[in-house]
Amino acid sequence: MGKLWFAHPAAKWEEGLPVGNGRLGAMILGGRERERIALNQDSIWYGGPVDRVNPDARAHLEQVRRLLLAGRIPEAEELLRLSFSGTPQSQRPYQPLGDLTLSYRVSEEAGQGTDPDKEVETDRDGEDNGYRRELDLEQGIVTEQYRMAGKQVRKEYLASCPHGVIAVRIRIPEGTISLEAMLSRKRFYDHAGRLWENAIFMDGTLGEGGVSWMAAVCARVHGGTVRVLGEHLVIRDAYEIELFIGCETSFYEKDYRQVLENRLQAALRDGFETIRQAHEEDYRALYGRVFLRIGEEAEDMPLEERFASGRKEGFDGSFAALYFQYGRYLLIASSRPGSLPANLQGIWNEAMEPAWDSKFTININTEMNYWPAESCALSECHLPLFAHLLRMWENGKRTAREMYGCRGFVAHHNTDLWGDCAPQDIYVPATYWVMGAAWLCTHIWFHYLYTGDRAFLQSMYPVLEDAVLFFHDFLIEVGGRPVTCPSVSPENTYILPDGTRGHVGVGVSMDDQILRDLLEGYLKASKVLQKEDTPLAAQSRSFLERLGRPQIGKYGQIMEWREDYEEEEPGHRHISQLYALHPSHQIAPDRTPGLAQAARKTLERRLSFGGGHTGWSCAWIVNFYARLRDGDKALENLEKLWKDSTFYNLMDNHPLGKGHVFQIDGNLGATAAIAEMLLQSDEERTLLLPALPKRWPEGSVKGLTAVGGVTVDLAWSGGRLTACSVYAPRETEILFRYEKREAFCRLKARERRRIFED
């Protein structure tokens, strides 16, 4: 269980199998005579920090507002385009580290030793068959095996967090193998060549004021010889080869070269087997917390065959379980304490000019990356997001002050390596949106709800407070309530009664919904930290009481804007007005049935016009249906995502031009959605099997996490709950609900209890 495999080397990058340790990642493409290992390091972004705040913004804010309130939308948008866009308009792009290219030759003669590992498969159908390239999710290791020149070759690849390197082992039990290795990058590197007699390197600086970096690969051989010629690592006639790949940058380390050399020396000293054991212990401590079984285990078959079968006959439950655990694997591999957060591609990017610069897009995509972190027992993987919020904080305070004349902290719809908070792009439907930091800051209270980590809450409270403070200065009064102005409903376009197209508005629905979560989280955090008796807290309570709530429009839908406008694109990929349904809990079928019905109408309307046509959008729709407790519709849209928005290596794809590009948000959003189908938790109650599809009648899950950090183990048969066990890491009270049955539990620290047993 938990294996993804191909019966051939990758024909393209999107058929690779990813490994990662948070900072350092690789796409394993495989190959008999020649292979390319595509490398990434999370701080390889081109260019240094820049103050991009448009100096004309603050002077024109009131004029923009007057134009919007007067209904002169095109004039307001033109003024925003000129005076509020960043200068320059774009933030920094994330780039690949480069490639390690390996060329192989197998000796026809017998080797000097015998490999003790006898698990290598023999040739099944003749020479050059028996190829298998596999990612084992339970180990976090990729293997490749095949026959070459009549000999079995086995390779193992892993990205070790404890050692900070990518380690590769190549073994040939009954012969010897030779290889030549070379590090390269398409551009933007300065030097390459010999580091030691058994190591090569390349280095460079990524533009003016940018990150300086060094990457290297060293070798340890059993039998044979190793030396460096030019910029090639040359190994001859070895029966076992160990390669260790590392990269360090000035973003993390002042003396990054020495840190890299020390890491590689430690890897050479410890060797692959010790590194593998440390990696598995570290990795399994995270991955092994959750087990999911849905139905019977499927027949072992290559990924292309699984897709062909699923597209023809429907995807079985075991595919859903595999996909769920793959999403958890991707989050572990791309977001670990001490790394940057997962960007649009996690860490796996092969393009020097990637789509959307592979940045942190914070009008949903980055937030979606972290939806599974708490519920799927990967709370530690959430921490890089908060570390980056701290990087953004000072920039966001300067942006608030210089652009808007406001106190506090603001960010728009993108940020980058340097925590840039100024508007990104000159794209009116998205650029002039002030809710990016606010949405990110809702994660602070969410993380505390699961962890109870008071020290964390204390450390992040000033950031949360400044996010709230900005809106106390920025909001204006319209119709007796505080509203954002200017703002957009991310990337969508409305139509005025006279046919005018508009993007920028006043009091956008999603803004009110995010602000409600932000203010409630801030006030609850203030109470926990005994800081509730302040003027800001009192004013926040007043704002919260007067904030707008979701309204129902003429189609029975949740309104997206303050006015019930028509949309230019009714099937738009963003469904921002349903933030209140998910990720928030403001709308729920039992608490707000009228709004829940309107949310369903909104989804039906979006889908009838072709919505959900990108992977991340489809993943969000699965979450929406899970919250509406419609498991069959949730599964229907999961299958749509797998059929239309998933590469064969299970990575999410996004349409771009005539092709598709990888984005990780669809994977991680859908992983969160599968968890939501089985368990939903908020501060009031935890629902068991709230959206179980009819096609998943049998199964079990262990380790999903509810508010309070309570882990929940479930089993079901015939579509009915048959067993439930809960465990509390600390003292807590929690209400569980299964259909119409309830169980209120006062749990002691480290107490395990069975509930709903007849």
Distances (CA, A) of 203 to 215, 586, 626: 6, 50, 48
**pLDDT of amino acid 288:** 98
The closest alpha carbon to 329, from 649, 696, 38, belongs to: 649
For 450-477, the pLDDT digits (tens) are 999 999 999 999 999 999 999 999 999 9
In this predicted structure, the answer to whether residue 113 has a pLDDT above a threshold of 60 is no
DSSP string, 104-117: EEE-SS--SS--S-
Provide the β-strand partners of residue 728.
751
In this predicted structure, the answer to whether residue 384 has a pLDDT above a threshold of 50 is yes
Local structure of 371: helix, strand or coil:
helix
* Rounded Cα gap, residues 289 and 712, in angstroms: 11
DSSP string, 299-313: PP--HHHHHHHHHHH
**pLDDT of amino acid 117:** 42
* Rounded Cα gap, residues 550 and 559, in angstroms: 7
The one-letter amino acid code at 612 reads G
Distances (CA, A) of 178 to 111, 158, 240, 385: 12, 21, 10, 43
- Mean pLDDT, range 685-713, rounded to an integer: 98
**pLDDT of amino acid 130:** 85
Give percent above pLDDT 70 in the chain: 97
Handedness of CA 78, 83, 85, 88 (dihedral sign): positive
pLDDT band at residue 149 under the 50/70/90 scheme = confident
- CB neighbour list of residue 72: distance below 8 Å, 6 or more residues apart: none
For 175-221, the pLDDT digits (tens) are 999 999 999 998 778 999 999 999 999 999 999 999 999 999 999 99
Three-state helix/strand/coil letters over 658-698? CEEEECCHHHHHHHHHHHHHHEEECCCCEEECCCCCCCCCC
- Mean pLDDT (the chain) is 95
Domain coordinates in residue numbering, the chain: 3-44+93-289, 56-91+359-548, 697-754
**pLDDT of amino acid 299:** 82
pLDDT band at residue 108 under the 50/70/90 scheme = low
Strands 732-738 and 686-688: parallel
**pLDDT of amino acid 298:** 83
pLDDT band at residue 129 under the 50/70/90 scheme = low
In this predicted structure, the answer to whether residue 71 has a pLDDT above a threshold of 80 is yes
**pLDDT of amino acid 122:** 37
In this predicted structure, the answer to whether residue 120 has a pLDDT above a threshold of 60 is no
The closest alpha carbon to 556, from 597, 609, 499, belongs to: 597
Distances (CA, A) of 491 to 57, 68, 77, 463, 487: 21, 18, 14, 27, 11
- CB neighbour list of residue 283: distance below 8 Å, 6 or more residues apart: 139, 140, 161, 332
**pLDDT of amino acid 387:** 98
Provide the β-strand partners of residue 20.
25
Other Cβ atoms less than 10 A from the Cβ of 252: the count is: 17
pLDDT band at residue 269 under the 50/70/90 scheme = very high
For 298-322, the pLDDT digits (tens) are 888 999 999 999 998 899 999 999 9
* Rounded Cα gap, residues 26 and 135, in angstroms: 13
* Rounded Cα gap, residues 229 and 250, in angstroms: 28
* Rounded Cα gap, residues 1 and 555, in angstroms: 46
**pLDDT of amino acid 599:** 98
pLDDT band at residue 1 under the 50/70/90 scheme = low
- Mean pLDDT, range 410-439, rounded to an integer: 98
- Mean pLDDT, range 356-362, rounded to an integer: 97
Q: Which residue do the tokens 């490749």 mark? A: 144
- Mean pLDDT, range 520-528, rounded to an integer: 98
The fold for domain 3-44+93-289 equals Beta-galactosidase; Chain A, domain 5 (2.70.98)
Cβ proximity of 363 and 491 under 8 Å: yes
572-603 residues labelled b (16+ CB within 10 A) or e (exposed) = bbbbbbbbbbbbbbbbbbeebeebbebbbbbb
**pLDDT of amino acid 37:** 98
- CB neighbour list of residue 479: distance below 8 Å, 6 or more residues apart: none
DSSP string, 493-555: -EE-TTS-EE-EESS-HHHHHHHHHHHHHHHHHHHHTT--SSHHHHHHHHHHHHS----B-TT
**pLDDT of amino acid 188:** 76
- Mean pLDDT, range 633-647, rounded to an integer: 97
Could you tell me the two tokens for 679?
Answer: 């368990």
- Mean pLDDT, range 667-687, rounded to an integer: 98
**pLDDT of amino acid 187:** 74
In this predicted structure, the answer to whether residue 45 has a pLDDT above a threshold of 90 is yes
DSSP string, 156-216: EEEEETTTTEEEEEEE-TTS-EEEEEEEE-SSS--EEEEEETTEEEEEEE-STT--EEEEE
Q: What CATH code would you report for 56-91+359-548?
A: 1.50.10.10
